[in-house]
Amino acid sequence: MTCEQKADDMEMVCDLLDKLVLRQLLLIEDKMRCELNIETSINNGCIHLAKSRYIMGQNSVSKERLPTESSAEFSASVTCDTILEDNIKQLKIKTETGSSVINPLNWFGVLVPQNLHKAKDIFKNSVNYVVECVNIQLQIIENINNIEALKKYKNIILNRST
């Protein structure tokens, strides 16, 4: 391998490393934004739950109304599937429909306040943010692996020159 080829390879590897590091910074920024969205959603959902508890009374909206181990079994309303997208494992939300899906608002009575409906919608939306955050984290891990592989290749190029 000539010095000119080594220099070209080194330049190409350094350019790729620069691009991967910039992508890593963008992914970290996206992940932080996603985490803030999760935090905001959960806070808003909790505020609406507190308002519902105030309207209905502290015993009407409490943990005693939630199902226990001895309750009838039911399916989750939202599940995740793993898919392969751009050679990166990603999660995709799959909403369950059918007779086995139970509306959790029914645990608190038939006529529930609008705030409880809002809280349910907000918590449902926060699941989307969580999945988005996990997908970004998977991309960050893949990016780190690519950076490490390029660093090893760069060291191999450097060691050939000696």
Residue 34 has pLDDT above 70, yes or no: yes
The pLDDT confidence band at residue 88, using thresholds 50, 70 and 90, is: confident
Structure token digits, residue 57: 């009374």
How many domains does one find in the chain?
A: 1
Residue 29 falls inside a structural domain: yes
> Would you say residue 108 has pLDDT above 90?
no
pLDDT for position 89: 83
Report d(CA 44, CA 119) in Å as an integer.
7
Given a cut of 90, whether residue 140 has pLDDT beyond it is yes
Q: Is residue 70 part of a domain?
A: no
> Which of 12-16, 20-24, 55-59: highest mean pLDDT?
20-24
Asked, for residue 142, whether it belongs to a domain, the answer is: yes
CA nearest 157: which of 1, 32, 33?
A: 1
Strands (E), 8-112: 78-85, 88-95
Residue 31 makes CB contacts below 8 A (sequence gap 6+) with: 133, 136, 137, 140
Question: Tokens standing for 151?
Answer: 């660093």
State the average pLDDT for the chain.
85
Average pLDDT of the segment spanning 85-89: 79
Is 103 domain-assigned? no
Is residue 55 pLDDT above 60, yes or no? yes
Residue with tokens 């000119």: 4
* pLDDT for 139 beyond 90: yes
pLDDT of 1 reads 57
* Coil vs helix vs strand at 85: strand
Beta strands in the chain (DSSP E): 78-85, 88-95
Residue 69 domain flag: no
Residue 36 lies in a domain: yes
d(CA 85, CA 50): 40
Return the pLDDT at 47: 94
Q: Let me know if residue 102 belongs to a domain.
A: no
Check residue 162 and give its pLDDT.
56
Q: What pLDDT sits at residue 62?
A: 66
Q: Across residues 58-66, what is the average pLDDT? A: 67
In this structure, what CATH number is given to the domain that contains residue 48? 1.10.287.3240
Please report whether residue 105 resides in a domain: no
Residue-range definition of the domain harbouring residue 84: 3-61+75-97+111-160
- Distance of alpha carbon 128 from alpha carbon 78, whole angstroms: 10
